[in-house]
Amino acid sequence: MTPPAGPAVEVTDLDLVVRAREHDDVAAFEELVRRHRDRAYRVALRVCRDPTAAEDVAQEAFVRVWRGLHGFRADSQFSTWLYRIVTNLALNRVTRRREDPTGDVPEPAGRHLDPAVRAEDSERLGTALQALDALTPEQRACFVLREVEGLSYEELAEVLDTTVAGVKGRLFRAREELATALRAYDTGRTEEVAP
């Protein structure tokens, strides 16, 4: 008869890093990739604005993580270290590629099935994405990491290698640019509807 299993113990990212680093445990590294690949891709996509480039950036980030595990000092969370690598690679990619991003604007989940409402939602989303594209890569990365991924100001400062004040300044400018674009869109829509 087998004794009953005890409560499952959560294996932390740090445990996995130690196993991968000290024992060349590929399964431990694969678990880290499984846990963080979607977030890495999402950040890369929102900074690069190109799915193919985002996939390349995310893959390159994990290659660099594997090669750099021995240098990870664990003075920050693994995810913060990974965000920093992904963000730097994505910013470098965007800086090298100055042409306009391509691709269709994703269709938002419509509030209604009414085609007019869906068309307006799509136009508004397109306006927001154009405004996001117009931000500097640093502002865009800061905005995405804060508003989409939920990093704290302190984590952002660490990831972006700047100060909390620098983070707040980038976020303020990014939010202002986006708000201005959406206000202009909304004003234009109001003027079109007015008799």
> Could you report the per-residue pLDDT of 26-41, keeping only the tens digit for each?
999 999 999 999 999 9
Alpha-helical (H) ranges within 49-152 are 51-68, 78-96, 115-134, 137-143
pTM for the full model? 0.67
Residue-level pLDDT at 10:
87
Domains defined for the chain, CATH in brackets: 11-100 (1.10.1740.10), 107-195 (1.10.10.10)
Q: Which residue, 136, 40, 128, is CA-closest to 84?
A: 40
Which phi-psi region, left, alpha or beta, contains residue 150 (left: φ > 0; alpha: ψ -120 to 50)?
left
pLDDT category, 6, cuts 50, 70, 90?
low
pLDDT at 191: 58
The residue among 139 and 7 whose pLDDT is bigger is 139
| Nearest-angstrom CA–CA distance, 148 and 43 | 9
Closest CA to 140 of 171, 185, 186, 109: 171
Phi, psi of 108 (to 5 degrees): -75, 160
Alpha-carbon span 167 to 15, nearest angstrom:
30
Among all chains, which residue has been given the structure tokens 């680093």?
21
Lowest mean pLDDT among 30-34, 64-68, 96-100, 168-172: 96-100
Residue 102 has a pLDDT of 45
Selected residue with higher pLDDT from 182 and 191: 182
Q: Give residues with Cβ within 8 angstroms of 93, minimum separation 6.
A: 48, 53, 56, 57
Query: Which pLDDT score, from 0 to 100, does residue 109 have?
Result: 46
Instruction: Give yes or no for a contact between 111 and 117, defined as CB atoms under 8 angstroms apart.
Output: yes
What is d(CA 125, CA 110) in angstroms, rounded to the nearest whole number?
A: 11
Tens of pLDDT, residues 116-167: 666 666 777 777 778 888 888 888 888 888 888 888 999 889 888 899 999 9
Distinct helix (H) and strand (E) counts, the chain: 8, 0
Q: What is the pLDDT of residues 71-112, one digit of tens each?
A: 888 888 899 999 999 999 999 988 876 544 444 444 444 445
| Residue 84, both tokens | 């920093």
Query: Is the separation of the CB atoms in 43 and 144 below 8 Å?
Result: yes
Cβ atoms of 149 and 45 within 8 Å: the answer is: no
